[in-house]
Structure 1
Amino acid sequence: MKKFVITISLVMVIGLLLGIFFYNQTPNQALPDIDPQPEEQSIDETPTQPEQIQGIYLNEQIGYSLQNDRLQITFDKGKNWITVPIEKDQLFAGEYNGNKQELIDHSYLLTENRTAFLYAEEPSWDNETIRILYTLDQGKTWMNSVVTEHYMGVRFRKVGFVDDQFGYIIISGGRTMSQEGSNVFLTFDGGQSWQETNNSGVSRLIADGGFVDAKIGFLSFGTINPEAPELYVTQDGGNTWKQATVNIPSEYANIFVQAETPFIEDDHLAVFVNQGPNGDYKGGLVKGKFISTDKGNTWVFSMEVSPDEANK
Structure 2
Amino acid sequence: MDKFILGVAAVIMIGLSISTFYYESTSKEKPQLWDGQSPQLSTENERTETLQPIYTDEQIGYSLQNDQLQITFDQGENWTNVPVEPDQLFSGEYNGNREELINHSYILNEKRAAFLYSDGLAEVGKRVIFIYSLDQGRNWEKAIVTEPYPSMRFRKVNFLNDKFGYMIVSGDRTMSQEMSNVFLTYDGGRTWKGTNPSGVTNLLSDGGFIDEKVGFLSLSYINPQEPILYFTKDAGNTWKSATIKVPEKYLEIFVRAEMPFKEDDHLAVLLNQGPNGDYLGGRVKGKFISNDSG
One fold, TM greater than 0.5? yes
Determine the structure 1 residue equivalent to 2:72. Answer: 74
Partners of 2:199 and 2:292 in 1: CA distance: 23
Contact 1:125 1:152 (C-alpha < 8 Å) held by counterparts: no
| 2:232 maps to amino acid | T
| 2:28 maps to amino acid | E
* 1:230-241 to 2 correspondences below 5 Å: 230-241=228-239
CA change 1:57–1:64 in 2 (3 A) is: same
* 1:195-206 to 2 correspondences below 5 Å: 195-206=193-204
The structural deviation recorded for 1:154 is 1.0
Partners of 2:86 and 2:55 in 1: CA distance: 18
1:273 matched to 2:271 = yes
The structural deviation recorded for 1:223 is 4.4
Partners of 2:70 and 2:293 in 1: CA distance: 40
Determine the structure 1 residue equivalent to 2:115. Answer: 117
Contact 1:126 1:152 (C-alpha < 8 Å) held by counterparts: no
- Report the secondary structure of 1:185's partner residue: strand
Q: Which moved more, 1:199-208 or 1:134-143?
A: 134-143
- Report the secondary structure of 1:68's partner residue: helix
1:226 matched to 2:219 = no
| 1:265 maps to amino acid | E
Q: Which moved more, 1:245-254 or 1:45-54?
A: 45-54
Partners of 1:288 and 1:169 in 2: CA distance: 27
The structural deviation recorded for 1:119 is 0.4
Measured against aligned partners, the alpha-carbon deviations of 1:58-110 in whole angstroms (never above 9, x if no partner) come to 22222111101111111222222221111111101112253211111111111
RMSD: 1.8
Partners of 1:110 and 1:125 in 2: CA distance: 32
Contact 2:217 2:230 (C-alpha < 8 Å) held by counterparts: yes
Determine the structure 2 residue equivalent to 1:129. Answer: 127
| 1:250 maps to amino acid | E
The higher radius of gyration belongs to: 1
* 1:114-263 to 2 correspondences below 5 Å: 114-124=112-122, 127-263=125-261
Contact 1:221 1:230 (C-alpha < 8 Å) held by counterparts: yes
Contact 1:221 1:231 (C-alpha < 8 Å) held by counterparts: yes
The structural deviation recorded for 1:57 is 1.5
Partners of 1:262 and 1:281 in 2: CA distance: 22
Misfit runs of 4+, over 4 Å: 36-41
The structural deviation recorded for 1:126 is 5.3
Partners of 1:67 and 1:223 in 2: CA distance: 35
| 1:161 maps to amino acid | F
- Unpaired runs of at least 5, structure 2: 1-11, 33-39, 41-48
Q: Which moved more, 1:56-65 or 1:196-205?
A: 56-65
Partners of 1:264 and 1:107 in 2: CA distance: 22
- Equivalent position to 2:83, from 82, 85, 90: 85
- Report the secondary structure of 1:245's partner residue: coil
Partners of 2:74 and 2:158 in 1: CA distance: 23
Determine the structure 2 residue equivalent to 1:100. Answer: 98
Contact 1:126 1:153 (C-alpha < 8 Å) held by counterparts: no
Determine the structure 2 residue equivalent to 1:48. Answer: 31
Q: Given the two structures, how large is their TM-score scaled by the length of structure 1?
A: 0.80
Measured against aligned partners, the alpha-carbon deviations of 1:24-67 in whole angstroms (never above 9, x if no partner) come to xxxxxxxxxxxx99966514123424320122122222211110
Partners of 1:275 and 1:125 in 2: CA distance: 37
Contact 1:223 1:276 (C-alpha < 8 Å) held by counterparts: no
Contact 1:207 1:223 (C-alpha < 8 Å) held by counterparts: no
Determine the structure 1 residue equivalent to 2:44. Answer: none
Count of paired positions: 261
1:288 matched to 2:286 = yes
- Report the secondary structure of 2:59's partner residue: coil
Contact 2:178 2:203 (C-alpha < 8 Å) held by counterparts: yes
